[in-house]
Structure 1
């Protein structure tokens, strides 16, 4: 080995040991660039704004009903979920919480599923903040079981079941997923064979792979299930039956009076889960279970007394798409609720980081751990992302509400793609962020009472149910490619993809060598530059993956080519969703009525945008969209904005307007956090 290199390595190691040792010296950290930048951050002009004004803008018109939920559970301590609770106790408590919400507090979420979806999702976010199991159980009862009845059925079903679902007299399940088939709904194997003689459908589980699995409300509380099965009609040919595709059926599973399992229905408990143990997930098997022909949810397909099938839609694929399209509310709710979970986690981590002091310059007071650049880089872009996701999911809920009124085909497609993308992107980000928040709070983050463990475990499944995230991102990529193809065939672009109208022109033209070198703060904080950068990346990814797919399909076929390009496709989908999120954040900043709050949001929005650009700076550098000096300026400005957001971090999390009895973590209390923490352990 070269002796010069060896000497340099030893010198570097010695310096590193000296720096680490300085952390342990009496008096705290020795002079160090990190603390110099922390001092600079304190010297910067702080953006001043009234927290209440920003909170009012964020919480919107349904703040009142959320407060009603919070106040009800505050007044009923026996309904608050303790830190330690067994699975069976948690299930019982969760049902009592839901009954109390509906019957005592008089909050009837089901009435808003159709009438006012925005209010429904606001309630869902609030109850999920109280206990995530309660949020999911609420969604199962009203979004899934109730939603399937009113969205896939007709007037006769609404007349018969609405009041019972609304009052919880008819607790129910949503039995779609099977042991061998999760996201591939068209591959479901459960059958519903029409018996012409008795005017009934016979529901059967043909093999173990077709057992309905992970069905919420099934193990303990459910009396009905919406069962998704292949509709088989008798024929006179050699096959004996004609398969009309997957349809939904109302199947009673327990006796209304005795609660005993009905004949032919077998129910087993899926058991203890990683999280959400207040939800009673079960497995269902059907052995020649007979139901009335009237129990077919017949909005998109019906069977007459004579066994004739009719539908307003001409093909199995169109009927299937229409059926799933009506169930998109579940994804909307998960995306929206996931942001609510992220708000809680970020609030806890930020408040603790402002409270906790650690080290400092020699013979001077210790500094807040949020003054350290490393802590800021963990939490401040996350706080900015939380705001970005909030505005994006509010937009999604508004679009969903419009869709439920107008039934406009273009809007239906737009909401389907946007909900798939936001659900996948937001839930994945939140899942990772909860762990980062836990780490940011050190040992105290590991205490169960400070909630990161339960938040992480309860939220983790958000990445899987209502569509596995990887599958959903592929749907987004597929829609983008379809839109890309239609552009060249003269078709129109749906609202979400409208910016791609320009993509073959401005967004895919050669980067301007002059603007590639602009590095002024005004330019980098210009929303047009930020949005153009996001959209340029998406447009290049779309064009390049289209070329790759065309090339590989010649040798591998369509499926093989898709699989070969899968990671590229997922990156494309994520890039597109990030572009949509940024666009909605910029719009929110512009319409904020309070100028001071608007200035604060602008700083947060700039951090979100530039942090994302910096994290993918290699992509921009590879195509000379950003010159080296501009890349450095972006990095420097991102650091500066992190310091700026740190200076208003307390006010920003306060604007989420989450009371202490909702966040519940002692280390996140707005006052006397340590005294409450010590009281909890018995001092």
Structure 2
């Protein structure tokens, strides 16, 4: 089939009403038998839902956790053996920061877990450690990430051998605690707009770091307020010239700046450090603000992988422009974003485990003169928690895939793979963290009054995780990056270009997924069809392809009168929806692959249930989109809704096994209402009974 251009597609849309009328009339010649979805059938579904799958928890857990169970168990066991390092429910900001530092020291120096070595050698193992550490305490996970992924990561990824030789051991053993000083008071997401300057002085062979105005103060810098001794400072590299310009801006570069004396821990001259104060969450992390007044550092402190300055002040780079150097620099720092997406899933696992275990334990009401039933037997509770549980599994496999692609990128340094991981990490970080943030509130509500008790952790989990939606890239900005990349791929497709690994399915999308909806399949409503992964994935991809095509047409139209920026802003909500739809398509594809690759029969059946629920729940939540274009007929929409409810019942029956497969011990979840035995006695003891 020949590829249509966007203009032709827009014209074809005008013919759709006539085409649909003809297709609907043709259905009278080939009527389709409908399954009976009435109250009788609903009752049968409820009875069938009581037929429980036998899930081998050990096999499912092995498949989920892979080769990194041992290192995670080592983290859990260490903190279980050290009750003095466990975070209490009530603790002051200053005490929490010192506890968090002692936790990190203990992990590295006593337990012998050295995360830094795995950042380059085995990134998947590093992220597994990060997941376990964050499950113990989210502040500790973030502090570890600042030390190793951010401060350490800049040395590994932006520096050269001389920097690694000098700083590696000190970062690894925590003798050199450090900061990642990128964000400024006035600039966060727009990193190219930062105002801190690093001016080269050829007389002394030094860079002079300056904060030109209060808007350029480095803000929210983790490890800065109390513990940091160094900072990687992102600043504009300025070179003096001998022409009329007087100075030349070479763009944003990274510099190692000592901020405290190694022996006395006193703040060094020219550096001003202030505490950012008490935060909504993550108060174990000492965020601070940094201001520089003519701070001199050696020329060798420039992290010079992508650009260097010689002794005589000449600039050299293997990359020809400021924009290419900036893209390469940020591309090497994508690990922080990967870690946040991965860690957000671990937070969702903890919250889902607490909410589901309590929902199985708590009994309330029931049929007359019969025992009370668990609150998870109520359809409303299932509606809140079962799609969430299915999504947790979906996100687990999607972020595992992200880590796999990131690891490949670190080994190959393939330029196309770098771009691919950049967009995928942006989309997954934005989508997963937004979903988890909403889910934490739902988990709290689903546990009623007892969910409001601080000891049951929903409040601290919600507060600590909330900032995940903002740091390492604001979610709205990241989704725009995904949308921009999709549009770039769309444009290249019509110019005969190739598509990146992640967006492969768009190769056919304008032919297959945007062809006229089949009036027969639009009405199929049998369970086998609705649970067919091809139907599910085609539906997700159809929606994405249609959104991509329609926003491309809208942008072209509005740019004629409003310019490119005005057109983008006019279509912004459309673009965000496009990005989310695409990421959902990627998540579903990876979930389907995980189901099909699972070697254990019982685990595969459980994962298939969760995968079908994830897919059909998402389709139902956006059923208006499918109905508006006749992709799904009314009777099929009803069948999707009924089947999603039925699958929620079925997933409910194995909910205990599904959360048990996360293998989160009681001393990690730490919520009395989620204890696997004597939960109520544990709860009453927590308040002094």
Q: Specify the TM-score bucket, using the shorter chain as the normaliser.
A: over 0.9
Could you tell me which residue of structure 1 aligns to residue 11 of structure 2? none
Query: Retained in 2: the 8 A contact 1:517–1:629?
Result: yes
1:549 aligns with 2:555: yes
Q: Deviations over 1:87-121 (max 9, x none)?
A: 00000000000000000000000000000000000
Paired residues of 2:390 and 2:613 also in contact (CA < 8 A): yes
Contact 2:201–2:208 under 8 Å retained in 1: yes
8 Å Cα contact 1:431/1:459 also seen in 2: yes
User: So what's the TM-score if we normalise by structure 2?
Assistant: 0.94
The match for 1:296 is: 302
1:237 shift after superposition: 2.6
Unaligned runs of 5+ in 1: 1-32
Q: Aligned partners of 2:569, 2:43: CA distance in 1, in Å? A: 46
Alignment equivalent of 2:164, drawn from 155, 158, 162: 158
- Structure 2 CA distance, aligned partners of 1:351 and 1:38? 27
Question: What is the Cα deviation at residue 42 of structure 1?
Answer: 7.1
* Distance in structure 2 (CA, Å) of the matches to 1:57 and 1:43: 25
Q: SS of the counterpart of 1:251?
A: strand
Match of 2:651 among 628, 645, 663: 645
Deviation of 1:239 after TM superposition, in Å, equals 3.0
Would you say 1:68 and 2:67 are equivalent positions? no
How much does 1:538 deviate? 0.1
Distance 1:405 1:602 in 2: 33
The whole-number CA distance in structure 2 between the counterparts of 1:215 and 1:238 is 37
Residue of structure 2 in register with 1:7 after alignment: none
Give per-residue Cα distances to partners, 1:175-228, cap 9 Å, x unaligned: 000000000000000000000100000000000000000000000000000000
Secondary structure of the structure 2 residue equivalent to 1:230: strand
C-alpha separation in 1, matches of 2:570 and 2:86: 50
Partner of 2:349: 343
Is the CA contact (8 Å cut-off) linking 2:57 and 2:661 kept in structure 1?
Answer: yes
2:24 corresponding residue in structure 1 = none
Task: Give 1:37 deviation, angstroms.
Answer: 6.1
CA contact (8 A) 2:337 2:472 kept: yes
Residue 506 of structure 1 is matched in structure 2 by 512
Among residues 589, 593, 603, which one is paired with 1:587 in the alignment?
A: 593
Q: Give yes or no for the alignment of 1:375 onto 2:381.
A: yes
Assess if the C-alpha contact under 8 Å between 2:46 and 2:646 holds in 1.
no
Alignment correspondent of 1:126: 132
Alpha-carbon displacement from aligned partner over 1:449-506 (angstroms, at most 9, x marks no partner): 0000000000000000000000000000000000000001111000110000011101
In structure 2, what is the Cα distance between the partners aligned to 1:264 and 1:292?
Answer: 15
Mapped to 1, the partners of 2:43 and 2:102 lie a distance apart of 52
Q: CA separation of 1:237/1:566 partners in 2, compared to 1, >3 Å: closer, same or farther?
A: same
> CA–CA distance in 1 between the matches of 2:496 and 2:198?
43
* Alpha-carbon distance between aligned partners in 2 of 1:592 and 1:411, rounded to the nearest angstrom: 27
Q: Distance in 2 between matches of 1:240 and 1:209?
A: 24
SS in 2 for 1:96: helix
**Which residue number in structure 1 is paired with residue 430 of structure 2?**
424
Specify whether residues 37 and 135 from structure 1 end up closer, same or farther in structure 2 by C-alpha distance, changes over 3 A only. farther
Relative distance call for 1:623 and 1:42 in structure 2 (3 A) is: closer
Matches within 5 A, 1:469-618: 469-618=475-624
Quote the offset at 1:38 in angstroms: 11
Residues of 2 paired with 1:579 and 1:400: CA distance? 19
Query: Contact 1:41 / 1:644 at 8 angstroms: preserved in 2?
Result: no
Judge conservation of contact 1:380–1:646 (CA < 8 Å) in 2: yes
Q: Secondary structure at the match of 2:235?
A: strand
Q: 2:459 aligns with which of 441, 453, 463?
A: 453
Q: In the comparison of the two structures, how many residue pairs are matched?
A: 650
Distance 1:44 1:504 in 2: 43
Map residues 93-492 of structure 1 onto 2, 5 A cutoff: 93-492=99-498
Gaps of 5+ in 2: 1-38
Q: How far apart, CA to CA, are the structure 1 residues paired with 2:253 and 2:49?
A: 64
TM-score w.r.t. length of structure 1 = 0.94
Would you identify which runs of 4 or more consecutive aligned residues in structure 1 move more than 3 Å?
Answer: 36-39, 41-44
What CA distance in whole angstroms lies between the structure 2 residues aligned with 1:673 and 1:547? 57
SS at match of 2:61: helix
Q: Is the Cα contact below 8 Å between 2:49 and 2:653 reproduced in 1?
A: no
Q: Distance in 2 between matches of 1:169 and 1:512?
A: 65
Residue 63 of structure 2 is matched in structure 1 by 57
CA shift in 2, pair 1:384/1:554, >3 Å:
same
